[in-house]
Amino acid sequence: MSIYKRKDSPRFYGCLRINGKYYRKCLNTENRNEGEELLFQWKNELLSDPDSPVSEKNQTFRYFSKNLVEKEKTYPPTPSGYHMYRFTEKILNRENGLLEYFGNTDIRSIKTSDVDNFVTQLPLKKKLTKSSVKQHLNVLRKVLNMGDVKLRFPRLNGSTLKSQRRGFFNKEEYRELRDKSLEYVGHEYKLHNGTTHHIDRDLHDLIVFMVGSSLRPTISEIYSVQHKHITVKETRKKTKYLEFPLNRKNQTMMIQTLPTSYYSYRDLCKRRKNYDPEDYIFYPKWTNRKHCMSIVSREFKELLEQIGMRFSQVGEKRTLYSLRHTSIIFNISQPGVDLMDICRRSDTSLKMIHDWYYPESQLDMNLPKFLREEKLSL
């Protein structure tokens, strides 16, 4: 808080700094003592006015959260139609989440210790993964920035949080999943809104393709592949596999699959004799790939629930990502495998391999033989 004179005026001006923002006005007096009194009076008026942006009422975490959401509503959606503010609202309003914890707290009073306490209790109440806690912290940081509050955020280490592994499928489970996905083609199920859907034949092919390629079940990976991208290759022993480009982290990578993906793709092409090179390989009728991703996720969940495989033997929830998890485990279980090559093809790191996959890979050391046998039963 200060008063000063400008070169072009004999009158005093006042300057207030509140929550990191500066407010200035002419005090309409040439007397310094009177100017200081007017400056104090102006400050009190700003803080007491409920409609003022710096009032005590408008310094709560809830107030700045609302402002953040309104700000993000002005952002254009991503090319895939994703709106940032919807994700922010979801994180803010989760049970035992940010709004419930910080809600009416004066944002200026939030300290690093408060963030530490929030991080400590969050996974205990919600059983969230490390990545989910990071999402909460990213939204928290954005809300604090709206109030011009800068804090040192805690580092998430193993003693505080442990990454929650997705359930994978061992040898017998995968065979059952693959076979049952054919048996349940056409199975009808209802959504929450009452509409009826059925399990598509493409789901079986997608399951086998993903386990043979380690692709992620995302718009930019498995749902982006079109027929024009696919090239059939052969090894020296005349074993066929697929190769196709994929954009990852602003780089184009050539993906090379296991033979199982080739057989899956071959059977799919036989069913669609007159496909267009521009068609997506899986679920081509759904041109909105975000909607397609949602449909496949629901079909896979329904299939797992019908065959009793929604959770692993140790209670881990299974999703489409479990197929990628299974694929990487199958790959690193092979003797003499080059882990760096697997990291490159799977777009992961040695640390991720060690932390997420290596213990499970030792459960099925006879997987190489199993993989060779796969082509006989597709």
Give yes or no for a contact between 126 and 95, defined as CB atoms under 8 angstroms apart.
Answer: yes
Tell me the pLDDT tens digit for each residue of 73-114: 988 876 656 788 888 999 999 887 899 889 888 888 888 878
Q: What pLDDT shows up at residue 373?
A: 47
Q: What pLDDT shows up at residue 124?
A: 55
Task: Please give the average per-residue pLDDT across 330-336, as a whole number.
Answer: 78
Model confidence at 314, pLDDT cuts 50, 70, 90, reads: confident
Q: What pLDDT shows up at residue 299?
A: 95
Model confidence at 49, pLDDT cuts 50, 70, 90, reads: low
Give yes or no for a contact between 241 and 201, defined as CB atoms under 8 angstroms apart.
Answer: no
| pLDDT at 374 > cutoff 50 | no
Give yes or no for a contact between 25 and 43, defined as CB atoms under 8 angstroms apart.
Answer: no
Q: What pLDDT shows up at residue 150?
A: 80
8-state DSSP, 279 = S
| pLDDT at 307 > cutoff 90 | yes
Tell me the pLDDT tens digit for each residue of 59-74: 789 888 998 999 889 8
Tell which residue, 282, 280, 159, has the closest CA to residue 209. 282
Tell me the pLDDT tens digit for each residue of 211-266: 999 999 998 899 999 999 999 999 998 999 999 998 876 678 888 898 999 999 99
Strand partners, 234: 240
Both tokens of residue 321?
Answer: 């990502």
Q: What pLDDT shows up at residue 378?
A: 36
Give yes or no for a contact between 241 and 264, defined as CB atoms under 8 angstroms apart.
Answer: no
Task: Please give the average per-residue pLDDT across 203-208, as a whole number.
Answer: 96
Element (H, E) at 232: strand 231-234
Q: What is the mean pLDDT of the chain?
A: 82
Q: What percent of the chain has pLDDT over 90?
A: 34
Model confidence at 172, pLDDT cuts 50, 70, 90, reads: very high
Q: How many Å apart are CA 257 and CA 262, to the nearest integer?
A: 8
Give yes or no for a contact between 322 and 239, defined as CB atoms under 8 angstroms apart.
Answer: no
Task: Please provide residue 99's backbone torsions phi and psi, each rounded to the nearest 5 degrees.
Answer: -65, -35
Tell me the pLDDT tens digit for each residue of 180-198: 999 999 999 987 778 899 9
Tell which residue, 371, 294, 264, 296, has the closest CA to residue 326. 371
Q: What pLDDT shows up at residue 349?
A: 75
3-state helix, strand, coil in the chain (%, to 5): 50, 15, 35
Q: What pLDDT shows up at residue 20?
A: 53
Residue with tokens 């803010």: 92
Q: What pLDDT shows up at residue 377?
A: 39
Strand partners, 196: 190
Model confidence at 54, pLDDT cuts 50, 70, 90, reads: low
Q: How many Å apart are CA 134 and CA 137, to the nearest integer?
A: 5
Q: What pLDDT shows up at residue 270?
A: 92
Give yes or no for a contact between 214 and 346, defined as CB atoms under 8 angstroms apart.
Answer: yes
pTM above 0.85, yes or no: no
Task: Please give the average per-residue pLDDT across 316-324, as a whole number.
Answer: 90
- CA-based radius of gyration for the chain: 28
Higher-confidence position of 339 and 250: 339
Q: Which of 165-169, 214-218, 324-328 has the lowest mean pLDDT?
A: 165-169
The residue type of 345 is R
Q: How many Å apart are CA 153 and CA 352, to the nearest integer?
A: 23
